[in-house]
């Protein structure tokens, strides 16, 4: 079987590394100081660096199923990978902008609305319950686009429960934003408290 991953690495070394070498060397010497942190979905079709045309060192990216931020619960048992990355980005790197990036056709959204696939009941089913306030309660077929935006709002509300995030926002040191990306059209929309607004 051909190893596409290693072939990709070889293209990186021959085509990208020579052009970007100075940037990487500077990042290695001076360390990272990204202005923006993005909480995005793990979906392979939604790459923040591609969507925002960013270069190495510009984005501090955290990805998980459905771009979910849990509430601030430092004393609760279990592992806190998402919260640890948020702490590092906001408190150590001192990013100036924190973005929640949801997207269309999200498997996590479908898991919240219709239930997780049978093969994903160990962790996914309980994970998406973080967003249960976004679950539709009315009759009829749910509008998944509305749920996608609602899940971004839940994550933003949960982020605001972290005291060092809410404090930074209140002091103007951190900007908290939410977006949804449409895979089919390539369009980005800002999530507002009442709806979504296309980014032009």
**How far is Cα 94 from Cα 106, in angstroms, rounded to an integer?**
29
Percentage of residues of the chain with pLDDT beyond 70: 99
Across the chain, what does the average pLDDT equal? 96
End-to-end CA distance of the chain: 43
CA distance 155 to 93: 21
User: Rounded mean pLDDT of 43-60?
Assistant: 98
Domain positions in the chain: 1-31, 32-198
pTM comes to: 0.95
User: Quick one: pLDDT band at residue 56, thresholds 50, 70, 90?
Assistant: very high
Q: Give the residue, 139 or 7, on which the prediction is more confident.
A: 7
> pLDDT digit string (tens) for 91-126?
999 999 999 999 999 999 999 999 999 999 999 999
Q: pLDDT-based confidence at 140, cuts 50/70/90?
A: confident
β pairing state of 188-191 and 175-181:
antiparallel
Distance CA 200, CA 197 (A): 9
CATH for 32-198, options being 3.40.50.1220, 3.40.50.300, 3.30.200.20, 3.40.1050.10: 3.40.1050.10
CB 70 within 8 A of CB 83: yes
CA pair distance 131, 10, nearest whole angstrom = 40
pLDDT, mean of residues 57-68: 98
Report d(CA 60, CA 35) in Å as an integer.
8
Rg over CA atoms, the chain: 18
Task: Return the pLDDT at 138.
Answer: 79
């Amino acid at each position: 079987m051909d190893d596409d991953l290693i072939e990709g690495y070889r293209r990186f070394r021959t085509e990208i590394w020579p052009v970007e070498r100075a940037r990487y060397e500077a990042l290695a010497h001076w360390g990272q100081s990204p202005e923006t942190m993005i909480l995005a979905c793990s979906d392979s079709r939604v790459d923040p660096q591609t969507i925002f045309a960013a270069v190495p060192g510009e984005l501090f990216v955290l990805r998980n199923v459905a771009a979910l931020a849990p509430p601030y619960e430092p004393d609760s048992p279990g592992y806190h990978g998402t919260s640890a990355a948020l702490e590092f980005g906001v408190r150590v790197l001192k990013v100036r902008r924190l973005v929640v990036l949801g997207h269309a056709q999200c498997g996590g959204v479908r898991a919240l609305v219709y239930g997780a696939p049978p093969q994903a009941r160990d962790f996914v089913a309980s994970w998406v319950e973080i967003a249960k306030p976004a679950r539709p309660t009315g009759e009829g077929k749910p509008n998944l686009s509305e749920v996608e935006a609602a899940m971004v709002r839940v994550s933003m509300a949960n982020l605001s429960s972290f005291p060092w995030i809410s404090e930074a926002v209140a002091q103007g040191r951190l900007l908290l934003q939410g977006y949804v990306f449409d895979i089919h059209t390539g369009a980005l929309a800002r999530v507002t408290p009442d709806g979504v607004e296309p980014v032009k």
